[in-house]
């Protein structure tokens, strides 16, 4: 029993390391692609790692009270918790993590968890820009979670299971079995929600780098910030793995994982460089209109598929 | 002999009313020793040098030379330079040319909110000796009386190329461990404060902005 759990935890630590490193690398890679579009060379590949180290090695840090610590702690706990219940590579003992029968529910809960912790921490900092960023971020999150939840309900109906491993297993045996082809309506709703989740333009109002300095993390610095940027890389990669598992047939190897997640990420990037920013009320209205309707349609579609 | 601002370890915050004094921290800043193991300190300095976040606070006419750094022509991102809109997260303060007394107050406030180690670059001739504003009633002549400076880039105005060269020179200095402006500021705190209060007449902020 103990040996089994030690092995599982060691495997999870390895997965955590690989996914974080991959997330950091991909951040730099995407930055370089954007730089190339703008005719620049862009940051070195290891720049995100250096930034994290630099912030960690800062000599001073100012605290704003106990709740202030909870921001980065809840944030990274949310990131690790989300990854812990997602099978990263299908059919691999090492990368299956703590996947179990109802993990899809737990993962969706954990995705909220980090954001709420961040809201507590940033609220404690007392900076008005943090409060504005949090208000915008939480309202946008409420809006994009609706189509995402509807799409998830649709594929739960379709596959009749709440286990991510079983959802991936049902998509094996060729590209025609992937959810994106069997239930494209749900995939469309989820991908529109994904644009909101990644926080690129047109849905980057809560970070708004020019008007409200950088939104919620305005007051976070030094080691707090290094934890938060570490989580940004980890959580970003985790979300991509989740989307790949639910809609794009999962992965059976690391190379397949990298290619698929990179392509999913590029959807957000291409939309991001092409479209200007929505105001927060426009973003909420957008999510509550078209993607939500598509989400409701996807449930009807899944039900029709099941009965026919 | 400079009169010490404080008795023991707290600051007086005499510029504030009794009501406001309770709202601000009155602790004295402390100097920080480098890591005892030299290899760790060298590694930390290497990371600090390769990730310079510049505070996006244009303090004079020279701030216009900062903007092109991010464009395709100069692309300072290559050297790990990025702009940060909040002093909490930035590590480099570029004083863009002349600093009027009114701006100096804001510069001090922003500088003290930055987390150490922090570096100051003075751009142009004005922070060195006043430049063409040497006899102006509202412009300070010698910037390093008020804040510790790590690097001067002279000229009127220096072009962005020179600024990039200056940033690379700053990286070299940081890697050698010669940029300890934050510690110098703390060690000579009373002297710097006396100088600052001499020119800023309406001192209505805490003695150290935590």
d(CA A33, CA A268): 13
Among candidates B51, B77, B86 on the partner chain, residue whose Cβ is nearest the Cβ of A218: B86
Average pLDDT on B33-44 reads: 93
Sort A128 into a burial class: Cβ within 10 Å, 0-12 / 13-18 / 19+: exposed
- pLDDT of res. A300: 94
A126 in the Ramachandran plot: left (φ > 0), alpha (ψ -120 to 50) or beta?
Answer: left
pLDDT of residue B2 exceeding 60, the answer is no
Domain membership of residue B93 (yes or no) is: yes
Strand order in the sheet with B53-55: B82-84, B53-55, B92-96, B119-123, B151-153
Helix runs in chain B, H state only: 18-21, 38-49, 101-113, 126-129, 160-175, 181-187, 189-199
Q: Do A47 and B51 touch (CB under 8 A)?
A: yes
Hunting for tokens 């020279």 — which residue is that? Answer: B62
Hunting for tokens 């959807």 — which residue is that? Answer: A267
From the candidates A58, A72, A133, A214, which should be mutated to test the interface with B, based on the most B CB atoms within 10 A?
Answer: A58
ipTM at complex level = 0.90
Q: Which of residues B149 and A99 earns the better pLDDT score?
A: B149
Q: Do B78 and A41 touch (CB under 8 A)?
A: yes
Average pLDDT on B115-123 reads: 92
Domain membership of residue B182 (yes or no) is: yes
Domain membership of residue B189 (yes or no) is: yes
First and final C-alpha spacing in chain A = 46
Hunting for tokens 């692609």 — which residue is that? Answer: A33
Nearest chain A CA: its distance from B148 CA (Å): 17
> Which of A40-44, B10-14, B33-37, B70-74 has the least mean pLDDT?
B10-14
Nearest chain B CA: its distance from A85 CA (Å): 33
Predicted TM-score (pTM) of this structure? 0.90
Q: Do B41 and B171 contact (CB within 8 A), yes or no?
A: no
Q: pLDDT 10s per residue in chain A (308 long)?
A: 888 899 999 999 999 999 999 999 999 998 898 899 889 999 999 999 999 999 999 998 888 888 888 888 888 999 999 999 999 999 888 888 888 888 898 898 888 888 888 888 888 888 888 888 888 888 998 999 999 999 999 999 999 999 999 999 999 988 899 999 999 999 999 999 999 988 888 888 877 666 666 778 888 888 999 999 999 999 999 999 999 999 999 899 999 999 999 999 999 989 988 888 888 899 999 999 999 999 999 999 999 988 87
Q: Do B115 and A218 touch (CB under 8 A)?
A: no
Domain membership of residue B184 (yes or no) is: yes
Domain membership of residue B7 (yes or no) is: no
Residue in chain A closest to B56 (alpha carbons) equals A213
Average pLDDT on B80-89 reads: 89
pLDDT of residue B3 exceeding 50, the answer is no
Range of the domain at B132: 18-199
> Residue A102: helix, strand or coil by DSSP?
coil
Query: DSSP string of A12-50?
Result: HHHHHHHHHHHHHHHHHHHHHHHHHHTT-----TTHHHH
pLDDT of residue B29 exceeding 80, the answer is yes
Q: At what angle do helices A222-247 and A66-84 cross, to 10 degrees?
A: 30
Q: Among candidates B188, B171, B183, B170, which has minimal Cα distance to B34?
A: B183
- pLDDT of res. A211: 64
Q: Do B116 and A62 touch (CB under 8 A)?
A: no
From the candidates A28, A32, A35, A40, which should be mutated to test the interface with B, based on the most B CB atoms within 10 A?
Answer: A40
Q: Do A278 and A203 contact (CB within 8 A), yes or no?
A: yes
Domain membership of residue B36 (yes or no) is: yes
How many independent structural domains does chain B possess?
1
Q: What is the CATH number of the domain that holds B186?
A: 3.40.50.12280
Domain membership of residue B4 (yes or no) is: no
- pLDDT of res. B1: 40
Q: Do A281 and A203 contact (CB within 8 A), yes or no?
A: no
Among candidates B51, B72, B85 on the partner chain, residue whose Cβ is nearest the Cβ of A54: B51
């Amino acid at each position: 029993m103990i040996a089994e759990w030690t092995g599982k935890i060691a495997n999870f630590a390895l997965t955590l390391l690989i996914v974080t490193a991959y997330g950091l690398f991909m951040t730099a890679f995407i930055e370089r692609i954007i730089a190339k579009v703008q005719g620049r060379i862009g940051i070195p590949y290891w720049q995100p790692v250096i930034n994290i180290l630099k912030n960690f090695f800062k000599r001073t840090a100012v605290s704003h009270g106990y709740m202030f610590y909870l921001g980065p702690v809840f944030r990274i706990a949310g990131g690790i918790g989300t990854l812990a219940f997602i099978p990263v590579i299908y059919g691999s003992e090492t990368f299956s993590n703590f996947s179990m029968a109802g993990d899809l529910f737990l993962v969706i809960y954990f995705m909220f968890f980090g954001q709420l912790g961040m809201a507590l921490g940033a609220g404690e900092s007392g900076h008005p820009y943090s409060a504005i960023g949090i208000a915008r971020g939480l309202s946008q999150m409420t809006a994009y979670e609706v189509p995402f939840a509807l799409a998830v309900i649709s594929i739960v109906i379709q596959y009749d299971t709440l286990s991510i491993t079983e959802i991936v297993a049902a998509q094996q045996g060729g590209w025609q079995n992937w959810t994106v082809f069997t239930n494209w309506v749900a995939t469309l709703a989820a991908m529109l929600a994904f644009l909101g989740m990644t926080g690129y333009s047109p849905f980057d109002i809560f970070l708004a780098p020019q008007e409200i300095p950088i939104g919620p993390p305005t007051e976070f610095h030094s080691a707090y910030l290094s934890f938060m940027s570490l989580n940004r890389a980890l959580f970003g990669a985790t979300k991509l793995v989740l989307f790949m598992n639910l809609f794009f047939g999962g992965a059976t190897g690391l190379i397949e994982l990298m290619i698929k997640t990179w392509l999913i990420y590029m959807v957000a990037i291409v939309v991001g460089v092409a479209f200007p920013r929505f105001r927060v009320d426009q973003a909420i209205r957008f999510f509550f209109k078209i993607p939500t309707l598509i989400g409701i349609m996807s449930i009807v579609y899944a039900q029709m598929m099941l009965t026919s | 002999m400079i009169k010490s601002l404080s008795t023991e370890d707290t600051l007086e915050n005499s510029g504030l009313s009794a009501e406001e004094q309770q709202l601000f921290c009155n602790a004295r800043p402390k100097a920080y020793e480098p890591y005892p193991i030299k290899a760790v300190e060298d590694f930390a300095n290497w990371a600090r040098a390769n990730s310079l976040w510049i505070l996006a606070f244009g303090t004079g006419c020279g701030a216009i030379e900062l903007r092109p750094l991010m464009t395709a022509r100069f692309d300072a991102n290559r050297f790990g330079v990025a702009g940060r809109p909040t002093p909490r997260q930035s590590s480099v303060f570029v004083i863009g040319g002349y600093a009027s007394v009114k701006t100096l107050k804001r510069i001090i406030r922003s500088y003290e909110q930055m987390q150490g180690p922090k570096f100051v670059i003075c751009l142009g001739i004005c922070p060195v000796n006043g430049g063409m504003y040497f006899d102006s009633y509202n412009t300070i002549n010698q910037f390093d009386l008020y804040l510790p400076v790590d690097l001067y880039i002279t000229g009127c105005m220096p072009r962005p190329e020179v600024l990039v060269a200056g940033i690379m020179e700053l990286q070299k200095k940081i890697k050698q461990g010669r940029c300890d402006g934050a510690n110098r500021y703390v060690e000579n705190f009373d002297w710097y404060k006396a100088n600052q209060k001499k020119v800023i007449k309406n001192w209505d902020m805490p003695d150290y902005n935590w």
